[in-house]
Amino acid sequence: MFSRILIANRGEIAVRIIRAARELGIETVAVYSTADKESAHVRLADQAICIGSPAPADSYLNIPRIISAAEVANVDAIHPGYGFLAENAHFAEVCRSCRIEFIGPSVESMKLLGDKVACKQLAIRNKVPTAPGSKGSVSDEDQALKVARDIGYPVIIKAAAGGGGRGMRVAHNDISLRAGMLQAMAEAEGAFGDATIYIEKFLEKARHVEVQVLGDQHGNLVHLFERDCTMQRRHQKLIEETPCPVLDEDHRQELCKAAVRLAKAAGYFSAGTVEFLMDAQQRFYLMEVNTRVQVEHPVTELLTGVDIVKTQILVAAGEKLPFGQGDIMWDGHAIEVRINAVDPENHFAPCPGRIELFDPPGGPGVRVDTHSYSGYKVPPNYDSMIAKLIAHQPTRQQAIATLRRALAEFRVSPIKTTIPLHAELMRNGSFLANDVDIHFVERLLENKSS
Ligand code: ADP
């Protein structure tokens, strides 16, 4: 087992990893940028090393500085969290060539699954359903127009290297396809240094349903059931829950087995997420595989009782999964809401700055994952998420009641947050009745502002 690990991340996920490591008896080393000197992850770790200035390229994305910190601190392994370098196969390769274990899957499976075009082709070979679309990447306009006419508009143009909703454009006709293709390519080139794009049918009334998988380096791999992340804004998740409230048992089995099939075909180990879109008939189509721990992992932890972060660490150290598929049970219903420092009344404009009062809720059925506290200054340089509030109760209705109560208790001032928006969504008739799709929140917000 490892005796010391470095966490190459910040914010709530760094805190989450430090807690998991400490409970396993592993020492932790935090890294931080000058903007994060006051962050809770710096205080909670056994040791903290400043790696540079606030710009991510100078700190959390700077591989040489992170490796130097790891060497100075003499760590056995690095946990990358999510975002930043978590899905960077080159970083995983550098870690391992420096004899530092990368807490994640193999470089080969990261490369294979991280390329969405290659991933889709692997899915097709393994009879995992995918949305109709281009066979591989699309490089010129004529080819794009032909694919779009074959599958029918609307279509979505997506970046092969995509992530965080970047490099995506929806096209409803030839004209918007031409324009969208150029924009998507430019955005993908800028964000990922790779302009490769592909096209698929744009599913209008879909739900986002994803399957958590967890594997070890001895060929064992299980699923931890699904999460529903249909409540999104601009392809960014706002609310995540498990189980998916509209999925019947036969389709659940089919979906989870497909996810396991794909992960096994990629020789996957560690924690991963296989993301699908699901239509009203519960037909599902693969979107992508995320080769890391997800923001929304806590709902699965509460539902199944499996500690995903600890298991990631154990399997990275070469241990076998301590359970088989038959041991994984689920109980009740869990829902997470993301609390971001943005103003929902003003186009979700970021609201960085000092939090004078941070008073999170507690009580039965409530979990709060956060790095924030009273006096904490939210830096303007990073993702705006300041906390995750998660409720776990025997039924969905009870989990929603707990979230309503917890959101009413949650006091954050003076900065604006998504707390009032979540309080409203927890009373929204369509959300309560499960009558939503991935565009629901955007339609709701548009109607409010018009
Ligand atoms: P990223 O890696 O950038 O997050 P994803 O492939 O996971 O990209 O897609 C993010 C979101 O984009 C999905 O949750 C969904 O809302 C939307 N999306 C992606 N593909 C489609 C599609 N074929 N039809 C409709 N919406 C889609």
Q: In CATH, what number is assigned to the domain containing residue 14?
A: 3.40.50.20
Q: How many structural domains is the chain composed of? A: 3
Quote the ligand 1 centre to 168 CA distance (angstroms). 8
Kindly give, in sequence order, each residue whose CB lies less than 8 Å from that of residue 245, ignoring residues fewer than 6 positions away.
228, 333, 396, 434
Instruction: Identify the CA nearest to 106 among candidates 117, 96, 119.
Output: 96
Query: Which ligand 1 atom sits closest to the C-alpha of 165?
Result: 3
Range of the domain at 422: 207-449
C-beta 184 within 6 A of ligand 1: no
In a domain, 126, yes or no: no
The whole-angstrom separation of Cα 330 and Cα 335 is 14
C-beta 164 within 6 A of ligand 1: yes
Query: Which ligand 1 atom sits closest to the C-alpha of 287?
Result: 6
Residue 392 tokens read as: 């776990």
Residue from 261, 292, 367, 405 carrying the catalytic annotation: 292
Shortest-distance Cα residue to atom 9 of ligand 1: 165
C-beta 208 within 6 A of ligand 1: yes
> Do 111 and 89 touch, CB atoms closer than 8 A?
yes
Residue whose pair of structure tokens reads 């598929």 in the numeric block: 325
Quote the ligand 1 centre to 106 CA distance (angstroms). 25
Check residue 449 and give its pLDDT: 80
Residue 50 tokens read as: 């400043």
> Do 49 and 30 touch, CB atoms closer than 8 A?
yes
In a domain, 294, yes or no: yes
Amino acid at 107: V
Amino acid at 130: T
At 313, which CATH number? 3.30.470.20
Kindly give, in sequence order, each residue whose CB lies less than 8 Å from that of residue 50, ignoring residues fewer than 6 positions away.
31, 32, 33, 34, 37
C-beta 202 within 6 A of ligand 1: yes
Residue 369 and residue 257 share a domain: yes
Residue 174 and residue 35 share a domain: no
In a domain, 324, yes or no: yes
The whole-angstrom separation of Cα 299 and Cα 414 is 29
Last residue of a domain, one of 152, 172, 201: 201
Residue 53 and residue 185 share a domain: no
Q: Could you confirm whether 292 is annotated as catalytic?
A: yes
Residue 294 and residue 172 share a domain: no
Residue 192 and residue 219 share a domain: no
In a domain, 360, yes or no: yes
Last residue of a domain, one of 174, 201, 228: 201
In a domain, 111, yes or no: no
> Do 336 and 240 touch, CB atoms closer than 8 A?
yes
Quote the ligand 1 centre to 202 CA distance (angstroms). 9
As a whole number of Å, the end-to-end CA separation of the chain is: 57
The whole-angstrom separation of Cα 284 and Cα 274 is 12
Query: Which ligand 1 atom sits closest to the C-alpha of 290?
Result: 2
In a domain, 119, yes or no: no
The whole-angstrom separation of Cα 332 and Cα 392 is 7
In a domain, 113, yes or no: no
Residue 66 and residue 152 share a domain: no
Residue 138 and residue 247 share a domain: no
Shortest-distance Cα residue to atom 17 of ligand 1: 235
Residue 46 and residue 79 share a domain: yes
Shortest-distance Cα residue to atom 15 of ligand 1: 235
Residue 71 tokens read as: 């060497």
Quote the ligand 1 centre to 402 CA distance (angstroms). 30
Residue 155 and residue 71 share a domain: no
User: For the chain (length 450 residues), average pLDDT per consecutive 10?
Assistant: 98 98 98 96 98 97 98 98 96 97 98 95 97 92 95 95 86 96 93 92 94 98 98 95 98 98 98 97 96 98 98 98 98 98 96 98 98 97 98 98 98 98 98 97 90
Residue 420 and residue 317 share a domain: yes
Shortest-distance Cα residue to atom 1 of ligand 1: 163
Residue 368 and residue 333 share a domain: yes
The whole-angstrom separation of Cα 310 and Cα 185 is 38
Task: Name the phi and psi angles at 404, rounded to 5.
Answer: -60, -45
At 157, which CATH number? 3.30.1490.20
Residue 224 and residue 350 share a domain: yes
Ligand 1: residue of 277, 283, 440 to mutate (most ligand atoms within 8 A of CB) is 277
Q: pTM of the predicted model, to two decimals? A: 0.96
In a domain, 120, yes or no: no
Last residue of a domain, one of 168, 201, 234: 201
